[in-house]
């Protein structure tokens, strides 16, 4: 019985130490230095190289180190074992802080003033009148965002795969109701998971359903958006501005037009980063559960893909 941390792009000493404290009798090893792969029964994964998990013959369960699991499920050799994801109030709080900052940035026209500063131009303007907002995806993060902005005085609509009920939010379901969900929104926030059903979902037709001059924020996954369609919508003014935290390819290629488009704000996938200190308890609890054959906390539906 041992745990493998297979997270190539992150320093893992802190996670290893904290898990070791929580599970003193269990060996916690960091890939690629696994002393005995045949003894690994639980793997914590994030952007793992394809094929690695399939080489662990005793594996019983998998844990995503983030809220999303698309990067894990992209490995077609992944064994069909229980997979859990992170659900953490600290992650939600971080996303709300980011979205609050971005909303203020556009409302206060800081995008415009920063352009004007570069041109040494003095043009006072009042705040943008942003009153309506749509959240695509009403799960852990999307429902928190919808309720947060509703409390801030926005008229909020939301869209999910199945019917949802949230106090004060107009909730819509399925492709047929997407145009209504989007139609009135001054701001659209994408918090959908990347699945077969959502890949390239936000295409030219969907940008055309949005209100002219909408501000679009993507904090979910880059591949949900058709980049060319977004650029065309920005060039035509259908989308007034876009804040993008996630990209089809990360890091964003230096030749990508998003970097230099005047109406695009790029942030490097920072809106809600998993905190080791707040997630150790759920990861160690899931390890215990997997050893006892119990259902995991925050288990993903592998068929749905989220």
138 binds ligand NDP (CB under 6 A): yes
The footprint of ligand NDP on this chain (CB under 6 A) covers a number of residues equal to 30
Instruction: State phi, psi for 233 to the nearest 5 degrees.
Output: -70, -35
174 vs 26, 133, 159, 164, 286, CA distance in Å? 45, 18, 8, 11, 32
Smaller CB separation from ligand OXD, 155 or 298: 298
Please name the residue ranges forming H helices in 51-129. Answer: 70-73, 89-107, 110-118
Question: Distance between CA atoms of 212 and 206, rounded to whole angstroms?
Answer: 12
Q: Which stretch binds ligand NDP (CB under 6 A): 18-26, 187-195, 278-286, 289-297?
A: 187-195
What's the min distance (Å) between Cβ of 58 and ligand NDP?
29
- Is 269 marked active-site? yes
**Least distance to ligand NDP from the beta carbon of 15, Å?**
17
Which one is catalytic: 221, 248, 256, 275? 221
Residues with Cβ within 8 Å of 25's Cβ and at least 6 positions away in sequence, in order, are none
Task: Pick the piece of the chain touching ligand OXD (CB under 6 A) from 13-21, 76-84, 103-111, 269-277.
Answer: 269-277
Applying CB under 6 A, which of residues 31, 68, 82, 240 lies at the interface with ligand OXD? 68
β-partners of residue 262 are none
The catalytically annotated residue of 27, 261, 269, 275 is 269
The C-alpha atoms of residue 185 and residue 145 are separated, in whole angstroms, by: 14
Q: Are 103 and 130 in contact (CB under 8 A)?
A: yes
Q: How far is the CB of 270 from ligand OXD (least distance, A)?
A: 9
Residue 136 near residue 188, CB atoms below 8 Å: yes
Residue 260 near which of ligand NDP, ligand OXD, none (CB within 5-8 Å, type-dependent): none
Indicate whether 42 belongs to the interface with ligand NDP (CB under 6 A).
Answer: no
Helix (H) or strand (E) holding 233: helix 227-236
Site for ligand NDP, rule CB under 6 A: 66-68, 137-142, 159-162, 164, 191-195, 197-198, 219-221, 245-246, 269, 271-272, 306
Positions marked catalytic: 221, 269
Site for ligand OXD, rule CB under 6 A: 66-68, 272-274
């Amino acid at each position: 019985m041992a745990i493998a941390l297979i997270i190539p792009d992150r320093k893992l000493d802190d996670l290893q130490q904290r898990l070791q404290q929580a599970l003193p009798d269990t060996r916690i090893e960091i890939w690629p230095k696994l002393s005995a792969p045949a003894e690994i029964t639980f793997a914590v994964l994030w952007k793992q190289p394809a094929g690695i998990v399939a080489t662990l013959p005793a594996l019983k369960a998998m844990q995503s180190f983030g809220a999303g699991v698309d990067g894990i499920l992209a490995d077609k050799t992944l064994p069909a074992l229980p997979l859990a994801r992170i659900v953490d109030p600290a992650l939600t709080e971080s996303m709300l802080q980011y979205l609050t900052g971005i909303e203020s940035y556009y409302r206060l026209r800081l995008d415009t003033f920063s352009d004007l500063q570069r041109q040494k131009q003095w043009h006072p303007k009042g705040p943008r009148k942003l009153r309506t907002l749509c959240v695509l995806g009403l799960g852990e993060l999307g429902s928190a965002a919808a309720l947060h902005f509703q409390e801030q005085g926005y008229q909020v609509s939301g869209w999910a795969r199945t019917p949802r009920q949230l106090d004060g939010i107009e909730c819509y379901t399925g492709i047929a109701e997407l145009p209504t969900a989007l139609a009135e929104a001054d701001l659209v926030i994408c918090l959908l998971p990347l699945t077969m059903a959502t890949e390239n979902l936000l295409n030219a037709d969907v940008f055309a359903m949005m209100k002219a001059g909408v501000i679009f924020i993507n904090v979910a996954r880059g591949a949900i958006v058709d980049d060319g369609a977004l650029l065309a919508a920005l060039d035509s003014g259908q989308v007034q501005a876009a804040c993008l935290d996630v990209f089809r390819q990360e890091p964003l290629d230096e030749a990508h037009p998003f970097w230099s488009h005047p109406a695009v704000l790029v942030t490097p996938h920072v809106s809600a980063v998993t905190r080791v200190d707040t997630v150790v308890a759920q990861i160690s609890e899931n390890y215990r559960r997997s050893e006892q054959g119990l259902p995991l906390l925050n288990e993903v539906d592998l068929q749905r893909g989220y």
